[in-house]
């Protein structure tokens, strides 16, 4: 392995990253050339509204660059999967275009791969984040890992180096509702994490907000855990026992003391509580049914409107990828 010069494919999802890409592609290429490694960069344009495509096309004459242009915004998970779907190399590096993933960590990742690790993932240092976000993140991963057979590292993200066999294993997974962190953990393989400090974005603002984070968390729970459904069952049993016991108590009290008119407030509060629980349960069931419905429809994970490469002009795709 030490004498083998691998071919590395860098997968870079991009959404409105025109300003960052002007500096990122040269910086990434310079570092990889210093490592004396053969490489290609695949940028997935996830429905950008700025000049991302124009900037990338202007750089193709100087760098080994391929661009996959989505027909619309399909999300980062789909962009990552699309990049892996087009990898034809010994290694794949998943890295963001906004410089938050430090490129100076890549040589360490390559060294660990040469030592025999098939997946090397970055572990974020969350010291700069608020205590509340760190608390919720910790609780979420505890629940997710405890309720499934997976072991997803708490602070690991998409910044990672994958051996070709890992890439092929992920590509073989047919699901449409993608939670990439879960897929990395599900396929297994010999893995190791390395700590890094996430840097500030050089340009622009991230489009990944609290709503996106919440949707991703729900997707992770419903894709790799049946805990929400089990909570419905357990809580339903507890409420059933409580209701039956309360009914018995009311019956006994009525037999010995007679019927009483007071108690309407208690009855109304109880009905409201049970109604709220039922609506929550229906919502949880609806989330799982929605995922089943999405999988059964088997729509493509993404659609490529055009592919731009160094050696040819943009060629529209005749069919979508699935």
Instruction: Kindly state whether residue 38 falls inside one of the protein's structural domains.
Output: yes
Cα–Cα dist 234/143, whole Å: 16
Residues 119 and 235 in one domain: no
Residues 259 and 179 in one domain: no
| Dihedrals phi, psi of 321, to nearest 5 degrees | -85, 150
- Closest to 91 (Cα-Cα) out of 106, 102, 78: 106
Residues 177 and 231 in one domain: no
Q: Domain range holding 39?
A: 7-224+300-316
Residues 165 and 306 in one domain: yes
Instruction: Kindly state whether residue 2 falls inside one of the protein's structural domains.
Output: no
Cα–Cα dist 220/51, whole Å: 33
Instruction: Kindly state whether residue 93 falls inside one of the protein's structural domains.
Output: yes
Residues 247 and 186 in one domain: no
Cα–Cα dist 1/156, whole Å: 26
pLDDT of residue 9: 92
Instruction: Kindly state whether residue 50 falls inside one of the protein's structural domains.
Output: yes
Residues 154 and 76 in one domain: yes
Residues 278 and 205 in one domain: no
98 contacts 158 by C-beta, under 8 angstroms: no
Work out the burial of residue 224: count CB atoms within 10 Å of its CB; fewer than 13 is exposed, 13-18 middle, 19 or more buried. Answer: buried
How many CB atoms are located within 10 Å of the residue 246 CB? 12
Residues 293 and 196 in one domain: no
Residues 178 and 214 in one domain: yes
pLDDT of residue 238: 75
Q: Going residue by residue through the chain, which has 322 residues, state the pLDDT in tens, using 9 for 90 and above.
A: 455 678 999 999 988 888 888 888 998 989 888 888 889 999 999 888 888 888 888 888 888 889 998 988 888 888 898 889 888 888 999 998 888 888 888 899 898 988 888 989 888 776 666 667 667 766 766 766 666 667 777 777 788 899 989 999 988 888 777 778 778 888 888 888 888 877 666 565 655 555 666 666 666 666 666 667 677 777 777 777 776 676 677 667 666 666 555 665 566 566 767 776 777 777 777 777 777 777 777 778 888 888 887 643 333 343 445 4
pLDDT of residue 47: 84
Going from the C-alpha of 315 to that of each of 29, 69, 120, the distances in angstroms are 25, 10, 34
Cα–Cα dist 80/9, whole Å: 12
* Helices first, then strands: H and E counts in the chain: 10, 9
Residues 80 and 175 in one domain: yes
- Closest to 301 (Cα-Cα) out of 91, 85, 94: 85
Cα–Cα dist 304/289, whole Å: 28
How many CB atoms are located within 10 Å of the residue 300 CB? 15
Instruction: Kindly state whether residue 321 falls inside one of the protein's structural domains.
Output: no
CATH code: domain of residue 49:
3.90.550.10
Structural domain count, the chain: 2
Instruction: Kindly state whether residue 283 falls inside one of the protein's structural domains.
Output: yes
Residues 155 and 184 in one domain: yes
Cα–Cα dist 189/170, whole Å: 11
Instruction: Kindly state whether residue 37 falls inside one of the protein's structural domains.
Output: yes
Residues 304 and 292 in one domain: no
For 234-283, strand residue ranges (E) read: none
- CB within 8 Å of 279: residues ≥ 6 apart: none
Instruction: Kindly state whether residue 149 falls inside one of the protein's structural domains.
Output: yes
């Amino acid at each position: 392995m030490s004498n083998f010069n691998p071919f590395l494919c860098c997968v870079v999802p991009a959404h409105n990253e025109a300003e960052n890409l002007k500096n990122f592609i040269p910086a990434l290429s310079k570092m990889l050339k210093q490592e004396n490694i053969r490489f290609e960069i695949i940028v997935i344009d996830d429905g950008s509204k700025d000049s991302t495509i124009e900037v990338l096309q202007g750089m193709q004459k100087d760098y080994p660059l391929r661009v996959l242009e989505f027909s619309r915004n399909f999300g980062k998970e789909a962009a990552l999967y699309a990049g892996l779907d087009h990898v034809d190399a010994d290694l794949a590096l998943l890295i963001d275009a906004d410089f938050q993933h430090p490129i100076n960590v890549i040589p360490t990742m390559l060294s660990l791969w040469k030592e025999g690790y098939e997946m090397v993932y970055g572990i974020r240092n969350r010291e700069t984040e608020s205590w509340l976000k760190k608390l919720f993140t910790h609780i979420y991963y505890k629940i997710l890992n405890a309720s499934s057979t997976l072991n997803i590292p708490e602070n690991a993200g998409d910044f990672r180096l994958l051996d070709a066999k890992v890439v092929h294993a992920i590509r073989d997974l047919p699901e449409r509702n993608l939670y990439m962190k879960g897929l990395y953990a599900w396929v297994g393989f010999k893995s190791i994490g390395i700590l890094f400090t996430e840097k500030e974005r050089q340009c622009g603002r991230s489009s990944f907000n609290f709503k996106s984070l919440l949707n991703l968390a729900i997707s992770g729970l419903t894709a790799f855990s049946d805990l929400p459904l089990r909570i419905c069952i357990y809580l339903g049993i507890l409420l059933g026992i409580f209701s039956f016991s309360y009914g018995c108590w009311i019956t006994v009290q009525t037999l010995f003391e007679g019927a009483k008119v007071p108690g309407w407030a208690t009855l109304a509060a109880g009905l409201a509580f049970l109604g709220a629980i039922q609506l929550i349960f229906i919502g949880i069931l609806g989330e799982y049914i929605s995922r089943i419905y999405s999988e059964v429809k088997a729509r493509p994970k993404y659609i490529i409107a055009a592919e731009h490469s160094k050696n040819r002009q943009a060629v529209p795709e005749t069919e979508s990828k699935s």
